[in-house]
Structure 1
Amino acid sequence: MKDLIFYTNPMSRGRIVRWMLEEVGEPYDTVLLDFASTMKDASYLAINPMGKVPVIRHHDTVVSEAAAICAYLADAFPKKNLAPPLDERGPYYRWMFFAAGPLEAAVTAKALGLLAPPEKRAMAGYGTFETTMDTLEAAVAGREYVAADHFTAADVYVGSQIGWGLMFGTIDKRPAFTAYVERLRARPASLRATALDDAALPKKS
């Protein structure tokens, strides 16, 4: 087994981590898990009690949650330059965890028909869906990358969240969003990751 193990399912947020792993370019083993069976086995629950993917194991370190995995991999392999210098990381942390927090919460709440009513908006981290979308648009409009003057792990995570939202209709197709995602999807690592995950999808009978 390689030093880096990737637990995933191609129909999950594991696609985000697959892309990040391809950007990192280090060898890794992939363990494909099924939602209804192997993800709930005791052996996997010992790794992630949530019974979800993605997860990575790097030597003796286990990391779950896609945004955390992206941040970890950027730090574990610094020569890949996937995180800005520490004194320039404010936007990097801000936008990666904005996408993992308010953005995902707002998109999920809208999809479920559970957006916070006006009198309870102060309790929701995203405030309103419209404010969240406007804030996100301002972050990527007119910029090649969201958090630095070069591509970083924040682009992997933010770009993935926007890409999924555009695909499933949960994020408006604003020009700034589509332009940003199209640039990122053209990256060789993104294309490789998509091909690998598509090849791992269950075969239609």
Structure 2
Amino acid sequence: MPTTLPITLFYAPQTRATGVRVLLDELGAPYRLHALNRNADDHRSDAFLAVNPLGKVPAVTVGDTLITEQGAIYTYLADLFPEAGLAPALDDPLRGAYLRWLFLYGSCLEPAVVDRFMEREPGPRGMSPYGTYDAVLDLIVAQLTPGPYLFGERFTAADLLWGTALSWLTAFKLVPEDPPIRDYVKRIQARPIVQRVQADDAELAKRHQAEAVRA
């Protein structure tokens, strides 16, 4: 049974929260969108810092339960709506790989990309959370090469996280468009819900920018 508790997504357009909005729509989950205007520093307001002291989106509340961090949010929400089929069950042999890839994004790819963008070394091997940038990219390409999704024909919530993220990272040239990555991003971007959310995202971003200018 899906939850009957109220769900709120604390969100700002064209951020990491976009993928969570896509996930909620793909799950068919009822939710309230609490949009923050980053141009007006809403994410630094006392009201939002009381929700997430780090001042980062996405954040999700389900009833009185707060979830932050992308890996945790995707895991929690996909498990909350099992009828959508986007999360392998606890006894599914794919469950371990699914969790690995949900958390590998935030723990390895994001730090690697930030270090590469900042033109800084990852630190001593014993301290780096990801090893090397090239090793992380090789791992991604190897996983995506069989296609069409992270786990072959099976589409999961992890694909929404990685597909959304790789779309931004390749667009900004932070990750190279190797053929497996390029083709994978195209598949995810072709999904009707992804296209609809991104179109609404762009319109909301424009409105927020105009509101900030008028303020």
If the length of structure 1 is used for normalisation, what is the TM-score? 0.91
> Distance between the aligned counterparts of 2:17 and 2:82, measured in 1?
22
- Paired amino acid for 2:42: T
- What value does the CA root-mean-square deviation take over the aligned residues? 1.7
1:110-149 Cα deviation digits (max 9, x unpaired): 01112326xx233212111111100110011122121364
The yes-or-no answer on 1:101 pairing with 2:130 is no
- Paired amino acid for 2:118: L
The yes-or-no answer on 1:112 pairing with 2:112 is no
Of 176, 180, 185, the match for 1:176: 180
> Distance between the aligned counterparts of 1:37 and 1:137, measured in 2?
37
Of 133, 140, 145, the match for 1:129: 133
Identity of aligned residues (%): 35
1:139-166 Cα deviation digits (max 9, x unpaired): 1112212136421111011112221210
State the partner residue of 1:138.
142
State the partner residue of 2:196.
192
- Paired amino acid for 1:146: L
Q: Where do 4+ consecutive residues of structure 1 move more than 6 Å?
A: none
State the partner residue of 1:23.
26
State the partner residue of 2:213.
none
Assess, with a 3 A threshold, how the Cα gap between structure 1 residues 99 and 66 changes in structure 2: closer, same or farther. Answer: same
Query: Which 5+ residue runs of structure 1 have no aligned equivalent?
Result: none
> Distance between the aligned counterparts of 1:166 and 1:187, measured in 2?
18
> Distance between the aligned counterparts of 1:161 and 1:37, measured in 2?
23
Shift of 1:41: 2.1
> Distance between the aligned counterparts of 1:115 and 1:69, measured in 2?
30
Of 5, 8, 13, the match for 2:8: 5
> Distance between the aligned counterparts of 1:116 and 1:62, measured in 2?
32
Is the partner of 2:151 in helix, strand or coil? coil
If the length of structure 2 is used for normalisation, what is the TM-score? 0.87
State the partner residue of 2:58.
54
Query: Which 5+ residue runs of structure 2 have no aligned equivalent?
Result: 211-215
> Distance between the aligned counterparts of 1:149 and 1:91, measured in 2?
14
1:21-46 Cα deviation digits (max 9, x unpaired): 11112221111113353222222211
Is the partner of 2:126 in helix, strand or coil? helix
The yes-or-no answer on 1:37 pairing with 2:32 is no
> Distance between the aligned counterparts of 1:19 and 1:148, measured in 2?
21
- Paired amino acid for 1:153: A
